[in-house]
């Protein structure tokens, strides 16, 4: 498993919280930030960006992944997600599918509520146990 130290977890949560401050969420008022750790130690931040038509809205997790992939990264170790709610904000189904495209089963997902009084650290396989990904298309 991709083990993270408490210091690494705290750093990722700090960066996710910073990213949350860039969120554009005028409709839901639910601001989310993410900090994605690549296998080589770089961090990419993302925030949710809403749209009045709702469908074009992009989650913080996907924003971080798309920035990292654009820069050539294809291997990832962990992501921290922090939202403005009283409860932890886990990745939506679409974000989980993006993670299935790029992440191993032991990819770490760290979630926290707005004041970090609730924090969860889980491997990806527990959030999407029977994921469909590139392995399923090998012939």
Structural domains in the chain plus CATH codes: 6-137 (3.40.140.10)
Q: Can you give the pTM of this predicted structure?
A: 0.93
Strands 76-83 and 108-112: parallel
Closest CA to 15 of 103, 78, 95: 78
Residue bearing tokens 């700090």: 14
Active-site residue among 61, 87, 101, 125?
61
Clarify whether 61 is annotated catalytic.
yes
Per-residue pLDDT tens listing for the chain (139 residues): 578 999 999 999 999 999 999 999 999 999 999 999 999 999 999 999 999 998 899 999 999 999 999 999 999 999 999 999 999 999 999 999 999 999 999 999 999 999 999 999 999 999 988 888 888 887 5
DSSP conformational letter for 134:
G
Q: How high is the mean pLDDT of the chain?
A: 94
Cross-sheet strand order for the sheet of 43-47? 43-47, 32-38, 76-83, 108-112, 119-123
The pLDDT of residue 77 is 97
């Amino acid at each position: 498993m991709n083990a993270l130290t408490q210091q690494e977890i705290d750093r990722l949560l700090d960066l996710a919280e910073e990213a949350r401050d860039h969120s554009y969420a005028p409709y839901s008022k639910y601001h989310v930030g993410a900090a994605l750790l690549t296998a080589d130690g770089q961090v990419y931040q993302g925030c949710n960006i809403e749209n009045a038509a709702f469908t074009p809205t992009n989650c913080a997790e996907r924003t971080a992944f798309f920035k990292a992939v654009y820069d050539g990264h294809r291997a990832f170790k962990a992501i921290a997600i922090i939202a403005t709610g009283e409860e932890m904000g886990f990745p939506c189904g679409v974000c989980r599918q993006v993670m299935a495209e790029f992440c191993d089963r032991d990819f770490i997902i760290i979630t926290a509520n707005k004041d970090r009084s609730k924090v969860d650290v889980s491997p990806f396989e527990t959030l999407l146990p029977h994921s469909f990904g590139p392995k399923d298309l090998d012939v």
